[in-house]
């Protein structure tokens, strides 16, 4: 597909600086882009490439002050990164709209209901009493269990498994290999050292505008629902346990584990490889550094935590600084012990 600068500027609300008839057919990184490609500049570290790139069209911030002439046509916007995201989304949607119908071989139960412009890829399995909203896409190899509800314009990527009774909202993206609604880790210790499985009778509810990365697992509730609220973004390889609740617009990076019945507030930011113990509450606005261990409830909102166990960031940084000094402190202590020993001996 070919677009010109005028069309793109109208889409992202930008101002053209250069030739309005400049056209592009593809996207490219600013340091590698070729003629006929569109790029963007948001990070000042890459500004040097603005003056050497072969890109025909570049989206830049309004505040950018040029240090030398550029050959490309510029489109100035308040936030180049966000504008580029809008453009990519529009491009992706245009491609997705071409995917409709049911490919064969696949299985769609006779009781399943589909909206308009739905796509079901080959080898997908759609169980009984499933509901799929308008414009949603179920890619090849996905499994949708009994009584699952999927909203409008939701994308289920290849190999995703959604167990029975789960509810998926609209404009949700679930990436390849993720499992939604698997059993929570519930076992009752028995005499003799064995464990009795506790039936997991709840479900998972994923609200609108959520994105879930590849190979992430979200367990169904023992009773009630595991809930992922509107706007949450989950990275790849996460474990979200039974009865967890994650507040709106919270983001969690890869390899984090959230134990059962923990409640995470809104607009929380959690780094990679964080471990969160069960039955805790994490206040809204909390920021947690990567590889931290959360063992206690976080009551104060908008705090930043780090460390194992996690503590306020300033204290954690002081401890890290002191830890680096331990070898020197050890030598000083040995020297003091030597001096004390000599004094005792009357030397």
Chain position carrying tokens 């996905």 = 142
- Judge contact between 105 and 122, C-beta under 8 A: yes
Q: Max Cα separation, the chain?
A: 98
Q: Residue 168 corresponds to which tokens in the numbers above?
A: 């998926």
What is the SS3 assignment for 92? helix
Q: Residue 197 corresponds to which tokens in the numbers above?
A: 């499985």
Chain position carrying tokens 């504008």 = 83
Pairing of strands 149-150, 239-240: unpaired
Where residue 113 falls (left for φ over 0; alpha for ψ -120 to 50; beta otherwise) is beta
CA distance 157 to 141: 9
Where residue 153 falls (left for φ over 0; alpha for ψ -120 to 50; beta otherwise) is left
* Catalytic center residues: 242
């Amino acid at each position: 597909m070919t677009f010109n600068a005028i069309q793109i500027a109208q889409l992202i609300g930008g101002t053209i600086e250069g030739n309005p008839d400049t056209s592009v057919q593809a996207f490219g990184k600013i340091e590698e882009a070729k003629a006929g490609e569109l790029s963007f500049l948001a990070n000042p570290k890459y500004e040097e490439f603005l003056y050497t790139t072969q890109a025909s069209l570049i989206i830049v911030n309004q505040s950018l002050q040029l240090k030398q002439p550029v050959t490309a046509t510029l489109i100035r916007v308040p936030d180049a990164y966000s504008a580029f995201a809008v453009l990519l989304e529009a491009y992706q949607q245009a491609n997705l709209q071409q995917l409709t119908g049911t490919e064969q071989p696949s299985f769609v139960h006779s009781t399943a209901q589909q909206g308009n412009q739905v796509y079901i890829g080959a080898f997908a399995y759609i169980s009984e009493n499933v509901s799929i909203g308008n414009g949603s896409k179920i890619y090849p190899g996905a499994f949708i269990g009994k009584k699952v509800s999927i909203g409008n314009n939701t994308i289920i990527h290849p190999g995703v498994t959604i167990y029975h009774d789960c509810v998926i909202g609209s404009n949700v993206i679930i990436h390849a290999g993720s499992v939604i609604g698997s059993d929570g880790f519930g076992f009752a210790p028995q005499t003799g050292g064995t464990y009795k499985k506790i039936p997991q009778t709840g479900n998972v509810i994923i609200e609108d505008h959520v994105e879930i990365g590849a190979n992430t697992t979200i367990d169904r509730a023992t009773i009630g629902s595991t809930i992922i609220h509107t706007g949450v973004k989950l990275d790849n390889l996460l474990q979200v346990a039974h009865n967890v609740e994650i507040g709106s617009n919270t983001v969690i990076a890869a390899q984090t584990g959230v134990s059962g019945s923990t409640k995470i507030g809104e607009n929380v930011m959690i780094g990679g490889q964080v471990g969160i113990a069960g039955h805790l509450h994490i206040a809204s606005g909390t920021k947690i550094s990567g590889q931290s261990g959360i063992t206690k409830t976080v009551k104060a909102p908008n705090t930043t935590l780090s460390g194992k166990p996690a503590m306020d960031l300033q204290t954690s940084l002081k401890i890290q600084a002191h830890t680096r000094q331990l070898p020197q402190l050890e030598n000083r202590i040995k020297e003091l012990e030597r001096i004390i020993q000599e004094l005792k001996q009357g030397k």
